[in-house]
Chain A
Amino acid sequence: MALRGNLRDFTITQLLNLINLASKTGTLVVDGSTEQAHISFRAGKLAYARIGKEDGSLAAVLYKANKINANQYRAIADRAGQMTDKELGLLLINAGYVTQEDILLNLQAYFTDLVRKMFTWVEGIFRFENDILPPDDRINVRLDLENIIIEGSRQLRELEQLQDEIPSLDMALKFTERPLTNINLSVDEWKVVKFVDPKNSMRQIAKTNKLTELEVRRIVYGLLQAGLVELVRPANAQISPNAKSFPTQDKEEQKSLINKLIGRIRQI
């Protein structure tokens, strides 16, 4: 079914978050105001990206990164026109011009830059195509999205929007079950992460770290978006319906009341 909408309502970081958490495979197509972007994923990891008519060929990427010089770039363009990026990559590695690591790191940096560029897109129609996979002739990478998401989330600065995302600082945080690996956090982010515990409300974390409400909201928003933490009720909060919810304080009578409601609703 549909995974489509408008960037006005769903930011790029929120989409990356969804793709990451759902481990999606396919291509996110975004029709921006002037360009169209294709970002492909495999199992929730960034595999390939292209924006507009920008030359994202391996030769162009390596040339921009100063891994090959202008003469080599021209020679490749002249002589290896029909070659796929995978074939060209093998040729360059075998010829000793670059290493496999050079190729992967530079492609990762290039694709990440394209995604960063999209953080500034506020208008555009997006759709996720499960059936469109990264092009076969291009080299795919496998890049975790968490760091890109945190980076994108840092750009959300409006207090009003952050208040919508995190209305109450009296809620606590807990780590999700996703493993925390290779995450690049700022000092302030680490300060918050250190106190992630269902016993600590966000208000307490902010106070302990001398962070303003805006600062703690911004940091928590980034961590939420990257799927590292989730909001929970503080551990000391009573979870079951509170005393005022029931006309009786007797636990057995309360259970009997719920069972009566279940029976009645089944009959409707």
Chain B
Amino acid sequence: MQTVKMVVTGPFSAGKTQFIQSVSEIDVVATERKISSDEERSVKSSTTVAMDFGRITVDEDLVLYLFGTPGQKRFDFMWEILSEGMLGFIVMVDSTRPETFREARSILETFRAYAPTPYVVAANKQDMDDAWDLEDMRHALRLDKNTKLLPCVARDKNSVKTILLELLYSILQEMESGK
């Protein structure tokens, strides 16, 4: 049995667990704990402290694992471990919470430094009225024009599929260009 993995990262409460749940064929194995900080509790009641784990079986010989990282900086020691051997990564950003953009930028740069693998940025909650425009997010997140910044709704399976496919197209493109 061959296995490959992709990592879904992003700030606290960006929608990483939901993203994996939308396409995983198994119930996501999530290590969730009650939130201890008041500020974080006001956003959601539990969070991922180690990782989420989803699976997509391709055939009897090949399985894709999706790992979701914990969002809070205090768990960043996990990021490097989870990033080891990944095919690529997805950075989830909540389009309605500009207060998390700085952290998203920091996580993105940290992962870029860990591993020279392709990545895409998923702008979650683009269906909400108070979502920032993609073009404004591109500048706020300091993404160059070649980086894929894709609209996303993490609870919508088709939207999640599009993000995963775009990452795979990027991986294939880089392999074919021989970089």
Interface string of A236-268 (1 = CB under 8 A from B): 011111101111100100110111111111101
Closest A residue to B141 by CB, please name it.
A18
B175 in contact with A254 (CB, 8 Å): yes
- Among B12-20, B38-46, B108-116, the stretch that binds chain A is B108-116
State whether the Cβ of B101 lies closer than 8 Å to any Cβ in chain A. Answer: yes
A265 in contact with B168 (CB, 8 Å): yes
State whether the Cβ of A2 lies closer than 8 Å to any Cβ in chain B. Answer: yes
State whether the Cβ of A180 lies closer than 8 Å to any Cβ in chain B. Answer: no
Closest A residue to B95 by CB, please name it.
A1
B116 in contact with A166 (CB, 8 Å): no
Given that A166-B109, A238-B116, A239-B174 are contacting pairs, would A262 and B168 also be in contact in the complex, using a CB cutoff of 8 Å? yes
Tell me which of B86, B113, B133, B164 contacts A171 (CB under 8 A): B113
Nearest CB on A from B80, distance (A):
11
Question: Within 8 Å CB of B98, what residues of A?
Answer: 4-6, 9-10
Nearest CB on B from A125, distance (A):
11
Nearest CB on B from A224, distance (A):
7
Interface string of B95-112 (1 = CB under 8 A from A): 010111111011001101
Interface residues of A in 161-217 (CB under 8 A from B): 164-168, 170-171, 176
Nearest CB on A from B179, distance (A):
4
State whether the Cβ of A95 lies closer than 8 Å to any Cβ in chain B. Answer: no
Interface bin, chain B: 35 or more
Nearest CB on B from A241, distance (A):
5
Q: In the bound complex, how far is the Cα of B86 from the Cα of A241, in angstroms? A: 8
Given that A233-B112, A258-B171 are contacting pairs, would A239 and B133 also be in contact in the complex, using a CB cutoff of 8 Å? no
A245 in contact with B85 (CB, 8 Å): yes
Tell me which of B106, B140, B142, B165 contacts A167 (CB under 8 A): B106
A230 in contact with B161 (CB, 8 Å): no
Given that A255-B175, A266-B165 are contacting pairs, would A167 and B113 also be in contact in the complex, using a CB cutoff of 8 Å? yes
B142 in contact with A22 (CB, 8 Å): no
B106 in contact with A165 (CB, 8 Å): yes
State whether the Cβ of B26 lies closer than 8 Å to any Cβ in chain A. Answer: no
Q: In the bound complex, how far is the Cα of B87 from the Cα of A248, in angstroms? A: 13
B169 in contact with A21 (CB, 8 Å): no
Interface string of A2-14 (1 = CB under 8 A from B): 1111101110001
Given that A167-B109, A168-B109, A239-B174 are contacting pairs, would A264 and B139 also be in contact in the complex, using a CB cutoff of 8 Å? no
Q: In the bound complex, how far is the Cα of B76 from the Cα of A168, in angstroms? A: 14
State whether the Cβ of A231 lies closer than 8 Å to any Cβ in chain B. Answer: yes
A262 in contact with B109 (CB, 8 Å): no
Q: In the bound complex, how far is the Cα of B100 from the Cα of A230, in angstroms? A: 20
Nearest CB on B from A17, distance (A):
7
Question: Within 8 Å CB of B101, what residues of A?
Answer: 9-10
B172 in contact with A240 (CB, 8 Å): no
B4 in contact with A246 (CB, 8 Å): yes
Q: In the bound complex, how far is the Cα of B137 from the Cα of A2, in angstroms? A: 11
Q: In the bound complex, how far is the Cα of B174 from the Cα of A230, in angstroms? A: 20
Known: A18-B139, A231-B142, A262-B168. 20 other contacts (CB 8 A): A3-B133, A3-B136, A4-B98, A6-B98, A22-B135, A164-B105, A165-B102, A230-B142, A231-B109, A237-B116, A239-B118, A240-B179, A241-B118, A248-B2, A257-B62, A258-B171, A260-B62, A262-B165, A264-B59, A268-B157
Interface residues of A (CB under 8 A from B): 1-6, 8-10, 14, 17-18, 21-22, 164-168, 170-171, 176, 224, 230-231, 233, 237-242, 244-248, 251, 254-255, 257-266, 268
